[in-house]
Amino acid sequence: MAAPDAPVSDPAIDLGSPHFIGIGGAGMSGLAKILAIRGAKVAGSDAKESTALLALRALGCQVHVGHAAANLGDASCVVVSSAIRADNPELVAAQERGIPVVHRADALARLMDNRRAVAVAGTHGKTTTTSMLAVSLTSLGLDPSFAIGADLNEAGSNAHHGEGEIFVAEADESDRSFHKYAPEVAVVLNVELDHHANYASLDEVLDSFETFAHRIVPGGTLVLSADDSGALALRDRLAVSAPQLTVVTVGERDEADLQLVKIEPQGLASKVTVRVGKAGGEHVFTVSVPGRVNASNAVMALAVGRALGLETDAMGTALGNYQGVRRRFQLKGEAGGVRVVDSYAHHPTEIAADLETARGAVGAGRVIAVFQPHLFSRTQQLGTDMGRALAAADIALIMDIYAAREDPQPGITSHIVAHSALDHGGLVRMEHSWSEVADVVARIARPMDLVLTMGAGDVTLLGPEILEAINQR
């Protein structure tokens, strides 16, 4: 099937010699990889050395450590994300020299030109669902291109330039940049209030997702959750504003077009039963990662495969090849009978889901959560809900806020999270020293426990240190 007619991205963008500011970031490095493979003369810079920079250099990219105006060279354009500050010296120099500044979403939209684009959106689960699609479509021999916000366990990469006609990408709602895309199939996993620096209310978030849905090309399909209230509110809006749009619902509710009928745990995997249509047949397939959320994401991916014209059972079998993605409930190792798992969860819904998954996998042991709040703005708005979710852990060790791109805000600290967890019956310990966390966890943990490091910041680096500290105790 040929790709349907779609709006073409801005033809004025010259990606022949792009310079990426922050090229080592999860999203930026993926685009740089694809452009390099397609023959572009890619350059860029980042604040510090990383494995992502090493991989880019291996592809022939010229990568600088540190930001300086001289790094721009003869760039045809400068690619930025919303995380790049206005006073970045390379951005300032590009503006002074009249070099076009391109948002990463515009660059990704250009890469998806003339492909059957699949854009996966939602407050949670984008990376996992996009990854499931990339793995399953690849295992079916379709060689899709993909751009993902983390590295696949199977491929060890966050991006691929494929020879096939399908391009699968995460669609980021945080800064409304997903309005740039024109997908054949769009996915909305859930709609909740987040990214408080850009959205003042849930209505604003729904407005943004409605705009995204209107970008679907004529004849395309929207796949959305039948179990999420925000997604259903979006469906109701679209019934008025886009009645011609084909909408496929997925979930556990009886009215879902693809109903998740049963989830049967099988160790760190699940056997999933799906009913297609109210009177349709049942299909059974295996998801090789644990938990209800992963099973739900897999059925969303199954629905996308069907929208692309793929046979249901073949797509279900292919989904069984997915082995996970870095930082999405990723097992880091085991020491002294204690398993250590790393998670990107930083929103209350994600925290609750991962703790539920951990509880199902822990058996007679305890779940010890090591949580690092991400962003002052998010903690201010959602810190109480974070604490409520963390109370489900047997022990919650709470670290200081990871500021990322934000400046500190007076009175906004991780104590907001800790006090809420205590108020909701949690057992809590505050730890302000990053370097002390591993030893503290090693003293607390005992055989059969599961330690879950959680957050979008540098808490991810603690897994190996915790394992080493346990081995040395």
Tokens of 180: 């740039």
Compute the distance between CA of residue 28 and CA of residue 15 in angstroms, rounded to an integer. Answer: 14
Compute the distance between CA of residue 206 and CA of residue 214 in angstroms, rounded to an integer. Answer: 12
Tokens 């592809």 sit on residue: 59
**Residue 204 annotated as catalytic:** no
Of residues 90, 123, 128, 170, which has the active-site annotation?
170
Compute the distance between CA of residue 125 and CA of residue 105 in angstroms, rounded to an integer. Answer: 19
Compute the distance between CA of residue 126 and CA of residue 147 in angstroms, rounded to an integer. Answer: 11
Return all residues near 435 (Cβ < 8 A) that are at least 6 apart.
none
Could you count the other beta carbons within 10 Å of the beta carbon of residue 2? 7
Of residues 33, 41, 123, 126, which has the active-site annotation?
126
**Residue 126 annotated as catalytic:** yes
* DSSP conformational letter for 201: S
Are the beta carbons of 68 and 90 closer than 8 angstroms? Answer: yes
Give phi and psi for 56, each to the nearest 5.
-70, -40
**Residue 332 annotated as catalytic:** no
Compute the distance between CA of residue 71 and CA of residue 67 in angstroms, rounded to an integer. Answer: 7
Compute the distance between CA of residue 29 and CA of residue 22 in angstroms, rounded to an integer. Answer: 8
Sheet with strand 395-398: strands edge to edge:
330-335, 338-343, 450-454, 367-371, 395-398, 428-430
Tokens of 138: 């690849």
Compute the distance between CA of residue 159 and CA of residue 151 in angstroms, rounded to an integer. Answer: 8
Are the beta carbons of 470 and 385 closer than 8 angstroms? Answer: no
The count of C-alpha atoms lying within 13 angstroms of the C-alpha of 303, restricted to the half-sphere facing its C-beta, is 34
Strands (E), 327-412: 330-335, 338-343, 367-371, 395-398
CA distance to 21, 218, 435, 447, per residue, from 367 (Å): 39, 48, 21, 11
Of residues 123, 127, 357, 453, which has the active-site annotation?
127
Beta bridge partners of 285: 272
Are the beta carbons of 216 and 181 closer than 8 angstroms? Answer: no
Are the beta carbons of 50 and 163 closer than 8 angstroms? Answer: no
Angle at 296 (CA atoms; ends 292, 298), nearest 5 degrees? 115
Are the beta carbons of 341 and 450 closer than 8 angstroms? Answer: yes
Catalytic sites, residue numbers: 126-127, 170
